[in-house]
Amino acid sequence: MSEKNAPSVWQGFKAFLMRGNVIDLAVAVVIGAAFTKIVNSVVDGVINPLVGAFGTQSLDGYSSCLKGPCTGTGDSATGVRILWGSVLGATLTFLITAAVVYFLMVLPMSKYLARQEARRKAKESAEEVIEVSELEVLKEIRDALVAQRGSGHDRS
């Protein structure tokens, strides 16, 4: 196999980078990182204080002892603990993120696209009506010309 026929690794990498979806992915990662900060601040500033009104302010403190005795925290903890508070906190963060993305990004964009599609269809149907009426006028002209020619042949 000659080297001139096969693309080089560098050319393949360059083609990969020049695809539009790679740039879109990079933008999505940057926006996602910034959006994570917003969601974390909502969880820390709003959700955790609301949970704190009913118990502890941090959900990470909620756990159950699977195999005792469960004493201490961190590296000095003994026993086997299930940290369900951390899972609950991560689940709430996910649900909040999904809700914000849906209600602030997906839903408005889908409504906008639906309006655009409705406008496009309305424009196409209006063009069809115009085309149909032009066609009808042309048929009437043709019929009139045929009738006129037919009446001219009868006189000869």
Q: What is the pLDDT of residues 29-58, one digit of tens each?
A: 888 888 888 877 877 788 777 767 877 666
d(CA 48, CA 51): 5
Q: Which of 116, 127, 54 has the alpha carbon at shortest distance from 88?
A: 54
Residue type, 134: E
When pLDDT is averaged across residues 145-156 and rounded to a whole number, the result is 73
Higher pLDDT, 143 or 133: 143
Is residue 100 scored above 80 in pLDDT?
A: no
CA 48: distance to chain centroid?
Answer: 28
d(CA 20, CA 33): 20
pTM of the full structure: 0.49
Mean of all residue pLDDT scores within the chain:
78
Helices marked H in the chain: 9-18, 20-42, 48-54, 84-101, 107-155
**Beta carbons of 88 and 62 less than 8 angstroms apart:** yes
Return all residues near 64 (Cβ < 8 A) that are at least 6 apart. 81, 82, 84
Question: What residues does 67 pair with on adjacent strands?
Answer: 80
Residue type, 37: K
CA 50: distance to chain centroid?
Answer: 30
